[in-house]
């Protein structure tokens, strides 16, 4: 591992308060979002949508890196410019999702395990040749009456560590994403406990497998009540719970944390991030930023509707959302 390469990548990704744009929806997820917006679910429409995103004027003012999907990293604009080149020319660092999605965890109803370790070393080498400088893997943890189980947490955290070690071997920054889902009616306290447990086990595994935690990015959920919970918390309560949980479980040696939005509205995700910075500025040993997908893209997707005539309006919304998130980080 060349640590300097990894460290420089992390510094550049988050320079001047910038964050990341997650646009790594798998084909199934992209199609699901298109279907909900009444957009045809074809490869060409996914290509047009991603072209609209990456050619957004001024995007690099607030976005330092974009996470791509395997299909997207190989695509080009309508005029034949590789997407990778568009991003690089704009000063946005390309990254790649390298997990291959989740499957039911055998023997543990309602729980998931992420796939994708087989052949990962070779895939990382190819993605690096294509221009990726960081790579993301998402583990999914569900909260319900009797879950998550110890087995589910242990299996997923170990896989995150194995993936991260392979990334560092390939001089790609691992973006480690243990997502505790917002689905369900659990309280913020339950989310805190599960998130803390997952993060502590994650770092145990990262140490065990010799991952250099000074050369990773952590992509966690915020600590928040389930979306069906009868009691939702204030913005400042969510911010406080999130910062306290991270301080209890994430070593100060980790350089950067970039949240997922997890189904929060764009406004709420930005408000929580802003509150964390305003209220806890002196208690944050890491860069605390964003790596949102839905919370940046959704207004633009709803406006685009697959129509060329809507591209400029959609791009303005994308630009504005990203700008607000970066402003929260810099507040």
Instruction: Provide CB contacts within 8 A for 200, sequence distance 6+.
Output: 249
Q: Which is nearer to ligand 5MM, 29 or 307 (CB)?
A: 29
Reading the block at residue 288, the tokens are 């605390």
Using the CB atoms, write b or e for 46-56: b if 16+ within 10 Å: bbbbbbbbbbb
Does residue 138 touch ligand 5MM according to CB under 6 A?
A: yes
Among 219, 278, 305, 323, the active-site one is 219
Using the CB atoms, write b or e for 138-157: b if 16+ within 10 Å: bbbbbbeeebbbeebbebbb
Distance CA 245, CA 195 (A): 8
Answer for the pair 260, 219: CB distance below 8 angstroms, yes or no: yes
Does residue 325 touch ligand 5MM according to CB under 6 A?
A: no
Distance CA 258, CA 8 (A): 17
Nearest CA to 112 out of 144, 67, 70 is that of: 144
Per CB under 6 A, the list member of 14, 134, 192, 292 interacting with ligand 5MM is 292
The least CB distance from residue 80 to ligand 5MM, in Å, is 26
Give how many residues touch ligand 5MM by CB under 6 A. 16
Does residue 195 touch ligand 5MM according to CB under 6 A?
A: no
Reading the block at residue 207, the tokens are 């140490």
Does residue 271 touch ligand 5MM according to CB under 6 A?
A: no
Question: 112-114 and 134-141: which strand pairing?
Answer: unpaired
Instruction: Provide CB contacts within 8 A for 103, sequence distance 6+.
Output: 112, 113, 114, 115
Does residue 293 touch ligand 5MM according to CB under 6 A?
A: yes
In the shown chain, the binding pattern of residues 152 to 181 toward ligand 5MM, with x for contact by CB under 6 A and - for none, equals ---------------------------x--
Beta bridge partners of 137: 176
In the shown chain, the binding pattern of residues 95 to 114 toward ligand 5MM, with x for contact by CB under 6 A and - for none, equals ------x-------------
In the shown chain, the binding pattern of residues 242 to 261 toward ligand 5MM, with x for contact by CB under 6 A and - for none, equals ------------------xx
Q: Which is nearer to ligand 5MM, 224 or 245 (CB)?
A: 224
In the shown chain, the binding pattern of residues 26 to 65 toward ligand 5MM, with x for contact by CB under 6 A and - for none, equals x--x------------------------------------
User: Phi-psi category of 185—alpha, beta or left, where left has phi over 0 and alpha has psi -120 to 50?
Assistant: alpha
Tell how far CA 68 is from the center of its chain: 11
Contacting range for ligand 5MM; rule: CB under 6 A; set: 20-28, 50-58, 114-122, 299-307: 20-28
Does residue 294 touch ligand 5MM according to CB under 6 A?
A: yes
Q: Is 112 a catalytic residue?
A: no
The residues that are catalytic are: 219
Q: Which positions touch ligand 5MM (CB under 6 A)?
A: 22, 24-26, 29, 67, 101, 138, 179, 260-262, 292-295
């Amino acid at each position: 591992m060349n640590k300097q390469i990894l460290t420089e990548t992390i510094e550049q990704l988050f320079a001047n308060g910038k964050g990341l744009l997650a646009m790594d929806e798998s084909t199934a997820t992209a199609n699901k979002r298109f279907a909900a917006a009444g957009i045809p679910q074809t490869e060409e429409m996914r290509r047009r949508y991603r072209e609209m995103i990456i050619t957004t004027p001024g995007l690099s003012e607030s976005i330092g890196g974009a996470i791509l999907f395997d299909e997207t990293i190989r695509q080009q604009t309508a005029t034949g410019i590789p997407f990778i080149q568009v991003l690089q020319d704009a000063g946005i660092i390309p990254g790649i999702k390298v997990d291959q999605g989740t499957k039911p965890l055998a023997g543990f109803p309602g729980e998931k395990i992420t796939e994708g370790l087989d052949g990962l070393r070779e895939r990382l080498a190819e993605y690096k040749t294509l221009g990726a400088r960081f790579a993301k893997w998402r583990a999914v943890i569900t909260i319900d009456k009797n879950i998550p189980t110890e087995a589910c947490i242990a299996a997923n955290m170990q896989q995150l560590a194995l993936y991260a070690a392979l990334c560092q071997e390939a001089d790609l920054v691992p973006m480690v994403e243990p997502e505790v889902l917002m689905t369900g009616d659990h309280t913020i306290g339950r989310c805190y406990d599960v998130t803390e447990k997952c993060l502590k086990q994650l770092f145990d595994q990262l140490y065990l497998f010799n991952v250099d935690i000074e050369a990773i990015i952590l992509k966690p959920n915020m600590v928040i009540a389930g979306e069906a919970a009868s009691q939702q918390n204030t913005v400042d309560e969510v911010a406080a719970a999130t910062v306290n949980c991270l301080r209890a479980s994430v070593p100060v040696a980790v350089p950067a944390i970039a949240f997922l939005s997890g189904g929060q509205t764009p406004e709420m995700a930005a408000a929580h991030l802003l509150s964390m910075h305003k209220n806890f500025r002196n208690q944050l040993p890491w860069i605390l930023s964003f790596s949102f997908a839905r919370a940046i893209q959704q207004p633009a997707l709803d406006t685009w509707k697959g129509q060329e005539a809507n591209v400029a309006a959609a791009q303005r919304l994308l630009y504005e959302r990203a700008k607000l998130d970066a402003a929260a980080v810099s507040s």
